[in-house]
Every structure is written in C-alpha cells, then in structure tokens.
Amino acid sequence: MGQNLASRRQSLLALDWLNVFLADIQGGVGPFLVVYLTSSLHWNPAQVGLVMTISGLAGVIAQAPAGALIDQVRQKRSLIVMAAVLIAISSLVTATIPSFTAVATAQSFTAVAGAFFAPALAAISLGLVGRQGIERRIGRNQTLSSAGNVGAALLAGLIGQFVGQAVIFYFIALMSVIVIVCVLRIRKNDIDYRLARGGDDGDSQVHVSKITKILSDRRLLIFAISAVLFHFANAAMLPLVGEVLSHHKGGSPPLFMSACIITAQLVMVPLGILVGRGASRSKRKPIFLLAFLVLPIRGVLYTFSDNPFFLVSVQLLDGIGAGIFGVMQLLVIADLTKGTGHFNLAQGAIGAAVGIGASLSNSLAGFVAKEAGYNASFLTMAAIAASALAFFWFFMPETKSTSHSADSNSELPTVGE
C-alpha cells in the first residue's frame, strides 16, 4: 500500500511539472508569432490574420476526433508525446522556412497537435484524482500552467530581444522535449481509465452512453455557444495588442509582448488555486460570470491609449478572465458528462466550437484593423464580448450537482482498473 501511495505521489508530481512545461508549448508561441511575422517579416494584418485563421481551422477539425480518440485509448501519455514531437518539428520549420506556405502549414500542424493537449491533460488529471478532488486539481493545474507561462514568456521575450525572434521557435522545440520527459514520468497504472473518460467515482466499469445523448443535451449546447462567443471576442485581443506594439516607435515589441503575457499569467498563478477552492465550495455560474464580465471592459480599455505600459496594465483583466475560464470550463464539462464515458469527446466538441470562434475572431479583427484601424477592431471585440456576457447570464443553467461532495481535499483516491 505504501509503495502504491508513493507511486501515486510520483505521478502527481510529474503531472505538476507537465503542467508547467506544457504551458510553454500549448499555444504560447501565438502572440510571439504575430510579433515575428509583423516586425521581422513585415507581414500586413490581413496576412497575419489569414495564417491565424488557417491554423485555427486546422485545430478545429482536429478537436472532436482528438477527444474521441482520447476517450477510446488507454495510452493517453503516448498521445501527448506524439503531439509534442509534432510541435517541435513545426516550430523548427517556422524558424527555418519563413514563407507564407511553410508558416501556415507548420502552424496548422501545431494547432492539430495542440488539440490533444487540453483533453488529454484533463483526462489524466481526472483519472488520477477522481471527481472528489477534481476542482482543486484543475485549479492547481491552472496555477502551475500560469507559472510555466510566466517563465516561458520572460525567456521568449529576452530571446527575441537579445538573440533573435526566430530563436524563440527553437526554444519551443526544446520545451517539447522536456514535456515528453515529464509525461513519461506519470505511471500509466495510476490513471483510472474509467474516470479518465468521464465515469463516476462509484463506477465498477466504463458506462458509455450514446453520442446522441451528449449532442442533444441542451445545457451542453448553451455552454458551447457561450464559449464560442467568449473566445470570438477574446482570441484576437492579444494578437491585436502585439500588432499595435510592433508599430510603436521607441520600444521593444518582443519585450512588451512578453510583459503582456507575464502580467496576465501572474494574475492567474494565485487565481487558479482560489477558483479551484471556490468551485469546490460554491456554485459554478456566479464564478464563471466574472470571466464574461471583464472581457468587454478589457476590449474598451485598449482603445484609451496605445502606450505600451498602459496596454500591459490592461492585461491584468486578461489574467482574471482567462484564469477563471480555464478552470471553470473543464469543471462544467465534467459536470455535464458525468457517467457518460464521453468527457474527452465533449471537450473536443466544445474545443472545436471554440476554435471556430477564435479563428473567425482573428480573421475579423485583422480585416477591421486594416479597414478601420485598431480601435475599431478592439470595440468590435468588446461588443461581441458584451453579447457573450448577456447570453451566458440569461440562458446558462447551474451545472454543479447538489449531491456532489466538495469537502474532500484528497488527491489520492483509490484506483481500481
């Protein structure tokens, strides 16, 4: 028993480090890609938006199949390994062949690989700690991911400033190798396959409901629409800030972009733990509403000044919104798929919907910025964010079961295959 407990602790420690380093490669290059394409390769906003749209759509196509595959296979660690290898290769291609076709293709493969990370990580987490520990575990994941993003953004900003912006992509490739080492340190026998695909703590076997049951769930549809609207408004904001910074004279775009990311992530470091604890004690919706509330405010504030220091300070709101959303989205999906066996498929389906919103966001923002200016683009995103807030407020029901026990602090439930 003592050996089994020690094994679990080793797996949980490895999961901690996986969250730290996975954050470095899970979409973290996006903002620096915008700066690189704009300031180093001198692409216009429409070209940048098109690359982001193409890669985003590739990620959308991969989301649902990735979630379904993660549900079906026990080798969830292997899927993360393969995705990390693909990220490394794509990053090297972006750095060495900076043509439109090469960059668009490489970033598309990056998006496809990224489609596996979030659901696989959530599945492993649920399989390790069970439903009684999932709120605190997801909050811990968010905190460690944010801490990893802080370190990665700082290093990437320094690399971009003092070594070269293209070298950032070599850094991403190196982080991919470290991710592989971390995930292989998680013992596969410590992951409860039943829980990892959406079972309940009391299940003796995997109960898989029909996919039509998931697709016909009105609550899941409402949540998907809410998530699409949120990311439609949110996805383009930081890339737009990157473009504004790239055109600002007398500054360093990579360092200011690094500061934007670090500011938001520093807010998210304590927020993940706080949201996880709050979610274990209270309902989901009131906490989630705060994420929707800060987004339109952030979009409007960006129009007040193009001063880099002001833009960086506004990123505090991004940390609040994204920090809450990152934790609560997984908890809501876990609530809605409890006992269905389709936890990861639901993540993938909603991820696909979110990807559509994010891709269209970058395309629309780039077009508006080119035709009417950056302020008009920020206000457009703010208007969409306001509609997301209203929709979630009026239509999304509470998802947390009143029978769910939230008092457990254990992250080491009994596992039995």
Task: List the one residue out of 315, 278, 318, 302 whose CA is nearest residue 377.
Answer: 302
What gap in Å lies between CA 293 and CA 385, rounded to an integer? Answer: 8
Residue 95 lies in a domain: yes
CATH number at residue 355: 1.20.1250.20
CB–CB of 153/330 below 8 Å? no
Sorted by sequence, the CB contacts under 8 Å of residue 52 that are 6+ apart come out as 30, 34, 107, 239, 359, 362, 363, 366
Max Cα–Cα distance, the chain, nearest Å: 66
Residue 174 lies in a domain: yes
Let me know if residue 417 belongs to a domain: no
Global confidence as pTM? 0.77
Q: Give a yes or no: residue 416 inside a domain.
A: no
Asked, for residue 380, whether it belongs to a domain, the answer is: yes
* pLDDT value of residue 226: 94
* Confidence class for position 3, pLDDT limits 50, 70, 90: low
Is residue 169 within 8 A of residue 92, CB to CB? The reply is yes
Task: Please check whether residue 222 is in contact with residue 119, taking contact to mean a CB–CB distance below 8 angstroms.
Answer: no
> Of 222, 182, 174, which is closest to residue 394 (Cα–Cα)?
222
pLDDT at 205: 56
Q: What is the pLDDT of residues 70-81, one digit of tens each?
A: 888 888 899 999
Q: Which residue has the higher pLDDT, 152 or 408?
A: 152
Answer yes or no: is 405 within a domain. no
Write the pLDDT tens digit of every residue in 12-41. 999 999 999 987 776 545 567 777 887 777
Question: Above 50 in pLDDT, residue 411?
Answer: no
Which residue in this structure is represented by tokens 């389906």?
Answer: 349
Q: What value does the mean pLDDT of the chain take?
A: 83
In angstroms, the CA 385 to CA 226 distance is 10
Q: What is the pLDDT of residues 147-190, one digit of tens each?
A: 887 777 778 778 877 887 788 888 889 999 999 999 999 998 88
Lowest average pLDDT, out of 195-199, 243-247, 280-284, goes to 195-199
Is residue 406 included in any domain, yes or no? no
In a 13 Å sphere around the CA of 39, the CA atoms on its Cβ side amount to: 26
pLDDT tops 80 at residue 404: no
| pLDDT greater than 70 at residue 44 | yes
pLDDT single digits (tens) 263-282: 887 888 888 889 988 888 88
Give the side-chain half-sphere CA count within 13 A for 378.
22
Alpha helices in 97-133 (DSSP H): 100-129
Per-residue confidence at 131, pLDDT binned at 50, 70, 90?
A: confident
Least confident among 193-202, 268-277, 280-289: 193-202
The tally of domains found in the chain comes to 1
322-361 per-position pLDDT tens digit: 889 989 998 999 888 887 778 888 888 888 888 778 778 8
Q: Is residue 407 part of a domain?
A: no
Residue 407 pLDDT greater than 60, yes or no: no
Domain that holds residue 126: 2-395
